[in-house]
């Protein structure tokens, strides 16, 4: 008997038996390299799903494929099933055959599209919604019109057609992206978005008529033994248009509350749906269906568990459910039937197999950053992963044994350096890593110092373990000099010396209460009293948030006319903006700092001098490259921040891409 046996017991979804309790949640692979115009997946798209199936997951639910392209079409999603012809079946059978060969089941997720959540700057269709005058999420000045009843019927017929194609192609079932995240069909189900006066509006049963007719049409076309799951947000978690609630906030629900969520779940079971794939939220509270690092683990579990009490069909729960202990308790205690995981399968597609074998420490943890997945999807790029550059390019980025064994020196034990060392060692090279301090992790050590970044700490621990497992010789407290390089005579040198904080040369900066961000994060005991943070970029705002949620008095001074002017995923950005409002964090923009004297920060705004008291000043104005050592006669690569200051994705990808070709 294994510790996690409950997670590897079979689960029935309608007539289909799934071998374990894990399901890959739908994630958007929409680019032309991964999905064909007819809605089938390309060879690269197929390989992405196959790789996760090989990792042991029980059920794969594909990314959403729209059932029609007539309305609500996005340039970023060029595929729809109304383009499917004879070739669709052949191509899709290639996918389903491979998934079945790997031992998994696969459902095709069918979507009605976005409605008011569609970014109109990439839209090709007209703005539609459940009812008239609905404001667009991204540009509220744009108003959407409601669908006509004939158009609704067109959608219903299109769902039935798409499901029939899926069955012919060998899919084990379909999932309807319906009552979820505030997309088009969900807009019908929520009274706040549905002002219709016909049979598709009004009370809950009227608002659920659209998804009711969808499942009835599918069952008629495919038979009652063909499973139909529904993506289901239990609660909307919204206060108003484009205004969501922070976890723990006392607020009045404008959308679907828990009581109505339970009622909706019971009706959906009655209508014929075979599974509820649950979480919370809409685009107005986007941090629930796409929880960033600031959200707690298992942030949707209690609501999904409440729903499971009131239905007999299986309920999955998604939303930072990758912690094995949490997942085990959720299933073992009967809170939910299964666990939905998305980004963790990108970070480590072998998650299920490693967990089943008891190798939990070898699971590369997802850090909920959204850098390689959600952010790239919304830029129209291929989905990938900040920690695992091989996602969606499994064949071209496959690590292969080196043609000739080389002696590799890695200078710097940050994440980039350890990634280069890991990849080179896996390919058969002899690798030595040198770190000048007594700890591995580099700048990721202070980054992991925030209270909500426990997954960052787990990533550092994972890399430390891989150094040992891969046979990398690690030398700590060692500064690499040209003389040492000459002595060791490496064939290849990776310079991964990272970056250092930028400094301000102002009166009082030498005071012991004036810290840079690295010092403040590495030595939290030095941060006390009234805190002034200089710099309103991502790190500065994250530090401010971390202290404010603990009840501390924090002020942010930003030299530019806008704080949080950073390129991060929308879910992360929207959460931080809402958190700033909720915790009432003062942010002063256009603040030109002049001095730090006598526990007072002095700054100018438009020529007017202002002061703010500070027991602690934290300077967070960015970083600059720290190359440290010169190029040698060896094959020489500069990676990560030592080359140019970026983020974790930049460090890992540059290390991986160089090391895979050494």
| Residue 183 annotated to the active site | yes
Distance CA 590, CA 592 (A): 6
Task: Name the 3-class secondary structure at 44.
Answer: helix
pLDDT at 645: 93
pLDDT at 1: 65
Instruction: List residues bridging with 317 in a β-sheet.
Output: 278, 339
The domain in which residue 585 lies consists of: 514-621
Per-residue pLDDT band for 150 (boundaries 50, 70, 90) equals very high
pLDDT at 632: 66
Asked if residues 103 and 18 have their Cβ atoms less than 8 Å apart, the reply is no
Q: Is the pLDDT of residue 631 over 70?
A: no
Task: Report, in angstroms and rounded to the nearest whole number, the Rg of the chain calculated over CA atoms.
Answer: 26
Same domain assignment for residues 220 and 128: yes
Same domain assignment for residues 257 and 223: yes
Which candidate, 307, 259, 254, places its Cα nearest to that of 279? 307
Identify the helix (H) or strand (E) that includes residue 316. Answer: strand 315-318
510-529 per-position pLDDT tens digit = 999 999 999 999 999 999 99
Which candidate, 182, 174, 176, 180, places its Cα nearest to that of 155? 176
φ, ψ of residue 227 to 5 degrees: the values are: -65, 140
Instruction: List residues bridging with 608 in a β-sheet.
Output: 605
Does the predicted model carry a pTM greater than 0.85?
A: yes
Residue predicted with more confidence, 630 or 506: 506
Q: In what order do the strands lie in the sheet with 134-135?
A: 128-129, 143-146, 134-135
pLDDT at 380: 87
Residues 6+ apart with CB under 8 A from 40: 84, 87, 88, 91, 92, 95, 169
Residue 384 placed within a domain: no
Q: Is the pLDDT of residue 633 over 80?
A: no
99-144 per-position pLDDT tens digit = 999 999 999 999 998 899 988 655 566 799 999 999 999 999 999 9
CATH number where 604 lies? 3.50.50.60
* Tokens (6 digits) for 393: 């390019």
Burial class (CB in 10 A: 0-12, 13-18, 19+), 385: buried
Same domain assignment for residues 268 and 340: yes
pLDDT at 178: 87
Residue 334 placed within a domain: yes
Asked if residues 438 and 476 have their Cβ atoms less than 8 Å apart, the reply is yes
Report the length, in residues, of the chain: 662
Q: What is the mean pLDDT of the chain?
A: 95
Asked if residues 470 and 422 have their Cβ atoms less than 8 Å apart, the reply is yes
pLDDT at 34: 95
Which candidate, 324, 325, 322, places its Cα nearest to that of 347? 322
Q: Taking residues 425-437, what's their average pLDDT?
A: 98
Which candidate, 536, 580, 575, 578, places its Cα nearest to that of 559? 536
Residue 102 placed within a domain: yes
391-426 per-position pLDDT tens digit = 999 999 999 999 999 999 999 999 999 999 999 999
Using DSSP bridges, classify how beta strands 11-13 and 16-18 pair: parallel, antiparallel or unpaired.
antiparallel
Residue written as tokens 């079409």? 73
Same domain assignment for residues 267 and 165: yes
pLDDT at 97: 98
Distance CA 314, CA 308 (A): 7
Helix (DSSP H) and strand (DSSP E) numbers for the chain = 20, 31
Distance CA 417, CA 432 (A): 11
Q: Is the pLDDT of residue 29 over 90?
A: no
Distance CA 341, CA 24 (A): 5
Terminal-to-terminal C-alpha distance of the chain: 43
Same domain assignment for residues 64 and 135: yes
- Identify the active-site residue in 49, 155, 183, 637: 183
Instruction: List residues bridging with 244 in a β-sheet.
Output: 238
Same domain assignment for residues 329 and 432: no
Q: Is the pLDDT of residue 546 over 80?
A: yes
Q: b/e for 473-489, b at 16 or more Cβ within 10 A?
A: ebeeeeebeeebbeeee
pLDDT at 124: 62
Q: Is the pLDDT of residue 259 over 50?
A: yes
Residue 395 placed within a domain: no
Residue 390 placed within a domain: no
Asked if residues 337 and 274 have their Cβ atoms less than 8 Å apart, the reply is no
φ, ψ of residue 494 to 5 degrees: the values are: -105, 120
Asked if residues 402 and 662 have their Cβ atoms less than 8 Å apart, the reply is yes
Q: Taking residues 294-321, what's their average pLDDT?
A: 98
Residue 383 placed within a domain: no
CATH number where 227 lies? 3.20.20.70
172-211 per-position pLDDT tens digit = 999 999 899 999 999 999 999 999 999 999 999 999 999 9
Same domain assignment for residues 454 and 481: yes
Q: Indicate the number of domains in the chain.
A: 3
Residue 271 placed within a domain: yes
Residue 393 placed within a domain: no
Asked if residues 162 and 174 have their Cβ atoms less than 8 Å apart, the reply is yes
327-343 per-position pLDDT tens digit = 999 999 999 999 999 99
Name the least confident of 67-81, 208-222, 401-415. 67-81
Distance CA 35, CA 8 (A): 31
Residues 6+ apart with CB under 8 A from 561: 589, 590
Distance CA 318, CA 250 (A): 23
Per-residue pLDDT band for 72 (boundaries 50, 70, 90) equals low
pLDDT at 76: 47
CATH number where 648 lies? 3.40.50.720
Q: Is 489 left (phi over 0), alpha (psi -120 to 50) or beta?
A: left
Same domain assignment for residues 549 and 616: yes
Same domain assignment for residues 246 and 361: yes
Q: Taking residues 630-634, what's their average pLDDT?
A: 69
Same domain assignment for residues 484 and 600: no
Per-residue pLDDT band for 506 (boundaries 50, 70, 90) equals very high
Same domain assignment for residues 600 and 652: no
Instruction: Give CA separation, 287 vs 17, 148, 246, 576, in Å.
Output: 32, 31, 9, 10
Q: Taking residues 65-73, what's their average pLDDT?
A: 79
Same domain assignment for residues 26 and 58: yes
Instruction: List residues bridging with 605 in a β-sheet.
Output: 608
Q: Taking residues 441-452, what's their average pLDDT?
A: 96
Task: Name the 3-class secondary structure at 553.
Answer: coil
């Amino acid at each position: 008997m294994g510790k996690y046996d409950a997670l590897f017991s079979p689960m029935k979804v309608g007539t289909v038996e799934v071998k374990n309790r894990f399901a890959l949640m739908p994630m958007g692979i929409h680019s032309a390299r991964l999905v064909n115009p007819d809605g089938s997946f390309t060879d690269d798209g197929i390989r992405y799903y196959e790789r996760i199936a090989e990792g042991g997951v029980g059920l794969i639910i594909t990314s959403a494929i729209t059932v029609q392209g007539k309305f609500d079409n996005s340039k970023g999603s060029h595929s729809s099933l109304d383009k499917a012809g004879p070739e669709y079946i052949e191509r899709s059978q290639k996918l389903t055959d491979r998934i079945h060969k790997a031992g998994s089941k696969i459902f095709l997720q069918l979507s009605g599209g976005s409605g008011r959540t569609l970014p109109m700057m990439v839209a090709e269709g007209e703005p539609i919604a459940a009812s008239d005058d609905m404001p667009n999420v991204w540009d509220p000045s744009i108003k959407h019109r409601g669908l006509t009843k004939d158009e609704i019927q067109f959608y219903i017929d299109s769902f039935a057609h798409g499901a029939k194609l899926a069955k012919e192609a060998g899919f084990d079932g379909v999932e309807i992206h319906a009552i979820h995240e505030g997309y088009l069909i969900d807009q019908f189900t929520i009274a706040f978005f549905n002002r219709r006066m016909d049979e598709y509006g009004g009370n809950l049963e009227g608002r659920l008529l659209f998804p009711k007719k969808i499942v009835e049409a599918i069952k008629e076309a495919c038979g009652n033994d063909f499973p139909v799951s529904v993506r289901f947000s239990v609660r909307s978690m919204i206060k108003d248009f484009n205004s969501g609630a922070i976890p723990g906030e006392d607020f009045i629900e404008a959308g679907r509350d828990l009581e109505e969520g339970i009622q909706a779940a019971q009706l959906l079971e009655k209508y014929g749906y075979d599974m509820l794939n649950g979480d919370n939220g809409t685009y107005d509270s986007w941090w629930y269906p796409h929880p960033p690092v600031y959200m707690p683990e298992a942030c949707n579990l209690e609501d999904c568990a409440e729903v499971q009490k009131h239905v007999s069909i299986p309920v999955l729960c998604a939303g930072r459910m990758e912690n094995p202990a949490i997942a085990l308790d959720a299933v073992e205690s009967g809170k939910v039937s299964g666990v939905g995981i998305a980004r963790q399968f990108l970070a480590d597609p072998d998650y299920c197999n490693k967990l089943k074998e008891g190798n939990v420490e070898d699971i590369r943890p997802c850090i909920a950053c959204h850098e390689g997945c959600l952010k790239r999807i919304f830029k129209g790029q291929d989905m990938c992963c900040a920690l695992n550059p091989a996602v969606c390019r499994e064949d071209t980025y496959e690590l292969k044994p080196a043609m000739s064994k080389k002696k590799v020196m890695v200078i710097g034990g940050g994440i980039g350096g350890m990634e280069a060392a890991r990849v080179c060692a896996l390919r058969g090279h002899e690798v030595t890593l040198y770190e000048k301090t007594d700890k591995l992790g580099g700048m990721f050590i202070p980054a992991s110092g925030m209270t909500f970044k426990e997954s960052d700490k787990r990533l550092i621990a994972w890399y430390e373990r891989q150094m040992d497992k891969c046979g990398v010789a690690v030398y700590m407290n060692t500064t690499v000099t040209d003389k040492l390089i000459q002595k060791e005579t490496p064939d290849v040198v990776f310079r991964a010396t990272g970056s250092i904080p930028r400094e301000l040369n102002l009166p009082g900066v030498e005071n012991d209460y004036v810290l840079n961000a690295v010092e403040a994060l590495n030595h939290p005991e030095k941060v006390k009293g009234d805190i002034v943070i200089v710099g309103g970029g991502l790190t500065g705002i994250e530090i401010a948030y971390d202290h404010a949620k603990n009840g501390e008095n924090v002020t942010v001074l930003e030299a530019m006319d806008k704080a949080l002017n950073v390129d991060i995923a929308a879910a992360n950005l929207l959460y931080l903006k809402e958190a700033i409002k909720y915790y009432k964090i003062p942010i002063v923009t256009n603040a030109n700092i002049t001095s730090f004297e006598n526990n007072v920060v002095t700054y100018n705004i438009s020529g007017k001098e202002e002061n703010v008291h500070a027991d602690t000043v934290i300077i967070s104005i960015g970083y600059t490259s720290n190359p440290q050592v010169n190029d040698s006669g060896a094959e020489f690569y500069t990676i990560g921040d030592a080359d140019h200051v970026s983020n974790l994705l930049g460090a890992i990808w540059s290390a991986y891409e160089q090391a895979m070709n050494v």
